[in-house]
Each structure stands twice: as C-alpha cells, then as structure tokens.
C-alpha cells in the first residue's frame, strides 16, 4: 500500500520540524515521520544524564508542535528503507509513503570508528533514551559504590571525545562529584570518584580558538577532570578502557562523545554518500542525481556560499529546514530555488557552573567566563521548543546554580542501564 503526500519528511529534529512548520504555514500537505513521538533537544542531553534538567524540558510531543497546522500529519513510525529515485520511504510495518517532494532529515548516529568494544560497552549520548540510560547507570554506580568500604578503589567515569559534547558532559559530571555527591552520599565517596576526558587530538574544543581551549582546559582541571589528550582509545571493555599510549583506566562507565555519522537509512537510498556517510547536497539543499529530494541537517554535508563545509550544528539544521521549505514551496508553485545562505551565529560550550566559552558570529568574537555562561543560557532557552519547556529549564538552572540540588528523578533501575 502506498500513501501519497505533497511532501514527506523523515525526521522530526531541528531540520525536519523547521521545514514542516514553514510548509504547514503555507498550507502545504506534509507527512512528518519520526520513530519517536517527540522532538528532542540534543544540546542538553548531558544535563538530563546528570540530572540538572528533566526529560520533559528537552522534549516536546511532535503532535503538540503541529496541532494547529492542519496540513501537517505526524506519524510515529520508523523508516526502514528509502528509495530516493521513487521518492518513497517504507516503515517497519511495510507501509510505503510517497512524496511529490521527499525530505530526508533523520539526523546522525554515534560513530565508534570500529573501536573494539565501544559499541557494546560505551554509552553514547545522542538521544533521550541514551541520556536516561547513562543517568541511570551513573546513579546505579554511585549506589553500588556507596555500599563498598571507604577503602575500596577509585570510581572512574571515562568520557571519550574532547569536543563540546565531551567537555560539557565531563564538566557536568565533575561538578556533580564536587557538589552533589558529598551531600547526597558522602565526602568519602566523592573523594573516590574521578572523571577522565580522553581525545586523540592534543587539545579540548579543537574547533575553538586557542584562548577558548586554554580557558576550558584550565576550568576542567580545576573542576577535577583528568585530561588524557593526544591519545586515542584503542579498546572499551565492560571494566574499563585502554588508550593508545598503553594506559588502562578501570571504569564501569565509558561515555562516547567521539563522533557522528549519518543514520543507516541513507545507505540503501541510492544516493551517493560522502564524508561521514552524509549526502553532499547541492547549494539549494537538494540531493545530487535525483529531482525533488532534499537532505537536511546532520544527514547532509552542507556548504556555505563560499564552499566551506558547515558543521553538524542545531543552527545549521534549523536554518537548512527553513530554507528547504522556501525552495520546496518554489518547486510546488513553479518558482525558482535559491542557494542556501547560512547566517553564522558562531558556537559555544558550557564548561561548568558560571563558566562557558563562546565565539560569536562569523567574526568569532571570543567570550569566556560568566558572560559566555549567560550567553549560553540565553541561546539555549531561545532554541528550546515550547514556552513551558523554556520556563521550566530556566527554573531548573536557577535551582542548580543557587542550591546545587538535583531535584530531577534519574531512574537508577537496572533496566534503564543495560550495559552495566
Ligand atoms: C549531545 C549533543 C550535544 C549537542 N550540542 C549542540 C549545541 O550545543 N549546539 C548546537 O548547535 N548543536 C549541538 N548539537 C548538534 C545538534 O543537536 C544537531 O546538529 C541537530 O540536532 C541536527 O538536527 P537534525 O534535524 O539534522 O537531526 P536530529 O535532531 O538528530 O533529528 C533527527 C530525527 O530523525 C529521527 N529519526 C532518525 N532515524 C529515523 C528513522 N529511521 N525513522 C524515523 N525517524 C528517524 C530521530 O528520532 C530524530 O527525531 C549537539 C548534538 C549532540 C548529540
């Protein structure tokens, strides 16, 4: 059975939602398919894992986003096959959906770079489920270690990847050890807990300026993070990791923030895959060699007007979604597609309490410390979907900043932490 729509969009992330929202405003008939019934806000997943904010602050039901857009139908189903030439996608139950225009915005998945044991034993941080699983595993680990005698060995958590995700995660775990574990458990347990941050490259935040890197490095060390830079992970086991320089770190929890690749559904789509398994889209965001297929956000290699590759960022995904909606409208009404123009807002990373780095705009105006921290808060509130989510996240951050308590429930049940 094949159902037909004007536009079929796969993926309700930043890109898919932006495209569906703008197409819906124009009354274009859209089918938006996502395997989850909610939109998730990946930049704050590490805060869910460390109990700083709650699940409902970083997620929003897709049906709530589109309930006023009558021309947008939300379908919760997993796409298992894509035929780009035919403009069709097939879901788990075998139903096929065809779009006059097909939009592929299914994001990315962790890239373990064939590191032995990583897929089996490491905790990725790419979805809400990943975040709750990691949070549960950390609570289980603390509960178990609390039952051991004070003289028992170190309790190590290893974070692989010194980019923004790894830095933010390592910083947040270190702050929990410093401020939360002594109060909720004991100072003896906090003294046994250590966070290690590992990366092949010599510095944290490789894409940032040296000034930001130096600031982040100093702050992480001050927070208690042990840095292992310039050495990769060669093996992940259920009891620790081995590094390329021969170091072994015993650890029950290894967080994988080591890289991304495009999701599996692109591999059988008939589209040629480029760097990271992504599709090298044309300047107007359409896929090469077929008509009427767009690839957006993390699933695409997108270039700016000067031909430089854009990074896998929420702002790139969101802007590509909105731009694609304009081009799709042009396709459907006999207009002309325009090449994508990206408004570069720069990038930022939270390093810890009151500490962040930001490089604003195309000129990369550098900020660090409390000012960057405030900018980080402002940008993330603005990006969050939903007024209730924004207000609630602000309340959680204020609570964290002023009291260092963790009022969000993390389920420390073995079922949410199956890798342990
Ligand atoms: C931990 C983390 C922290 C980040 N921090 C920042 C940050 O601070 N700032 C920033 O700008 N960017 C950040 N990013 C990057 C940013 O989140 C991504 O670039 C952005 O989410 C990409 O948007 P997207 O719409 O392409 O994909 P996604 O947001 O990943 O959405 C893809 C959607 O497709 C759905 N999907 C996937 N496969 C299927 C399938 N087979 N069938 C149906 N549905 C499917 C998924 O459920 C998902 O809803 C971060 C990313 C991560 C993982």
For every residue of 407-419, DSSP letters joined together read -S-----GGG-TT
Number of structural domains in the chain: 2
Residue 412 structural domain: 118-258+346-416
For residue 339, being part of any structural domain is answered with: no
Query: Are residues 253 and 268 both part of a single domain?
Result: no
For residue 153, being part of any structural domain is answered with: yes
For residue 69, being part of any structural domain is answered with: no
Q: What is the pLDDT of residue 385?
A: 82
Residue 132 alpha carbon to ligand 1 centre in Å? 16
Residue 312 alpha carbon to ligand 1 centre in Å? 9
Q: What is the pLDDT of residue 61?
A: 96
Q: State mean pLDDT over 33-43.
A: 96
For residue 93, being part of any structural domain is answered with: yes
Of 19, 38, 42, which is best to mutate to test ligand 1, by the most ligand atoms within 8 angstroms of its C-beta?
42
Residue 5 alpha carbon to ligand 1 centre in Å? 24
User: Which numbered atom of ligand 1 lies nearest the CA of 39?
Assistant: 49
> Which residue lies with its CA nearest to atom 44 of ligand 1?
34
Query: How does pLDDT run across 223-259, given as a tens digit for each residue?
Result: 999 999 999 999 999 999 999 999 999 999 999 998 8
Rounded Cα gap, residues 148 and 144, in angstroms: 7
Query: Are residues 24 and 141 both part of a single domain?
Result: no
Last residue of a domain, one of 309, 333, 357: 333
- By percentage, how much of the chain surpasses pLDDT 70? 97
- C-alpha closest to that of 409 among 418, 420, 398, 396: 396
Q: What is the pLDDT of residue 383?
A: 85
For residue 371, being part of any structural domain is answered with: yes
> Which residue lies with its CA nearest to atom 27 of ligand 1?
107
Of 9, 10, 13, 208, which is best to mutate to test ligand 1, by the most ligand atoms within 8 angstroms of its C-beta?
13
Catalytic residue among 29, 57, 168, 175: 168
Query: Are residues 284 and 153 both part of a single domain?
Result: no
Query: Are residues 222 and 311 both part of a single domain?
Result: no
**CATH number, residue 238:** 3.50.50.100
Residue 40 alpha carbon to ligand 1 centre in Å? 8
Residue 38 alpha carbon to ligand 1 centre in Å? 12
For residue 44, being part of any structural domain is answered with: no
DSSP one-letter string for 155-195:
EEEEEE--SHHHHHHHHHHHHIIIIIHHHHS-HHHHHHEEE
Query: How does pLDDT run across 358-416, given as a tens digit for each residue?
Result: 999 888 999 999 999 999 988 898 888 888 889 988 888 888 888 777 766 666 655 55
Mean pLDDT of the chain: 93
Query: Are residues 225 and 182 both part of a single domain?
Result: yes
Q: What is the pLDDT of residue 362?
A: 82
Query: Are residues 267 and 320 both part of a single domain?
Result: yes
Query: Are residues 144 and 170 both part of a single domain?
Result: yes
Last residue of a domain, one of 287, 304, 333: 333
Q: What is the pLDDT of residue 418?
A: 47
Rounded Cα gap, residues 179 and 197, in angstroms: 19
Rounded Cα gap, residues 188 and 186, in angstroms: 5
First CA to last CA across the chain, in angstroms?
Answer: 42
> Among all chains, which residue has been given the structure tokens 């208690």?
224
Active site residue 168: yes
For residue 192, being part of any structural domain is answered with: yes
DSSP 22: H
Query: Are residues 152 and 204 both part of a single domain?
Result: yes
Q: Which residues have C-beta atoms less than 6 Å from ligand 1? A: 10-16, 33-36, 42-43, 45, 78-79, 105-107, 125-126, 164-165, 263, 265, 297-299, 312-315, 317
User: Which numbered atom of ligand 1 lies nearest the CA of 91?
Assistant: 42
**CATH number, residue 328:** 3.50.50.60
Query: Are residues 390 and 247 both part of a single domain?
Result: yes
Query: Are residues 274 and 409 both part of a single domain?
Result: no
For residue 70, being part of any structural domain is answered with: no
Of 314, 381, 393, which is best to mutate to test ligand 1, by the most ligand atoms within 8 angstroms of its C-beta?
314
Confidence of residue 130 (pLDDT cuts 50, 70, 90): very high
Query: Are residues 358 and 211 both part of a single domain?
Result: yes
Last residue of a domain, one of 310, 333, 356: 333
Query: Are residues 240 and 138 both part of a single domain?
Result: yes
Residue 354 alpha carbon to ligand 1 centre in Å? 26
């Amino acid at each position: 059975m094949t159902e037909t729509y004007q536009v079929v969009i796969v993926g309700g992330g930043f890109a898919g939602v932006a495209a569906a929202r703008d197409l819906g405003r124009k009354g274009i008939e859209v089918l938006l398919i996502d395997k989850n019934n909610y939109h998730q806000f990946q930049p704050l997943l590490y805060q869910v894992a460390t109990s700083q904010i709650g699940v409902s602050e970083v997620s929003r039901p897709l049906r709530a986003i589109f309930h006023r857009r009558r021309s947008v139908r939300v379908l919760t189903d997993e796409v298992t096959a894509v035929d780009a030439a035919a403009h069709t996608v097939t879901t788990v139950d075998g139903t096929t959906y065809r779009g006059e225009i097909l939009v592929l915005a299914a994001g990315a998945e962790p890239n373990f770079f064939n590191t032995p044991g990583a897929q089996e034993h490491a905790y990725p941080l790419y979805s809400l489920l990943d975040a709750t699983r990691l949070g549960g595993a950390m609570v289980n680990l603390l509960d178990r270690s609390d039952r051991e005698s004070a003289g028992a060995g170190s309790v190590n958590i290893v974070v692989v990847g010194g980019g923004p995700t790894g830095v933010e995660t390592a910083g947040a775990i270190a702050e929990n050890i410093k401020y939360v574990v002594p109060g909720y458990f004991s100072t003896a347990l906090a003294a046994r807990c250590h966070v290690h941050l590992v990366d092949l490259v010599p510095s944290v935040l490789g894409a940032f300026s040296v000034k930001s890197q130096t600031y982040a490095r100093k702050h992480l060390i001050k927070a208690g993070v042990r840095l292992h830079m310039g050495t990769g992970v060669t093996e992940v086991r259920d009891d620790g990791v081995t590094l390329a320089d021969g170091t072994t770190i015993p650890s029950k929890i290894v967080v994988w923030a080591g890289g991304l690749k495009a999701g599996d559904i692109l591999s059988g789509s008939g589209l040629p895959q480029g760097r990271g398994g992504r599709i090298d889209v044309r300047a107007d965001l359409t896929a090469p060699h077929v008509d009427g297929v767009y690839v957006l956000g993390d699933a695409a290699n997108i270039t700016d007007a000067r031909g430089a590759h854009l990074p896998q960022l929420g702002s790139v995904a969101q802007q590509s979604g909105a731009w694609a909606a304009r081009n799709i409208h042009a396709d459907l009404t006999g207009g002309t597609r325009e090449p994508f123009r990206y408004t570069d807002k720069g990038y930022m990373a939270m390093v810890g309490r009151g500490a962040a780095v930001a490089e604003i705009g195309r000129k990369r105006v550098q900020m660090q410390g409390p000012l960057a921290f405030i900018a980080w808060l402002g940008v993330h509130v603005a990006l969050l979907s939903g007024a209730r989510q924004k207000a609630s996240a602000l309340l959680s951050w204020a609570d964290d900043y002023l009291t260092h308590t963790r009022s969000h429930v993390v389920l420390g049940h073995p079922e949410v932490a199956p890798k342990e």
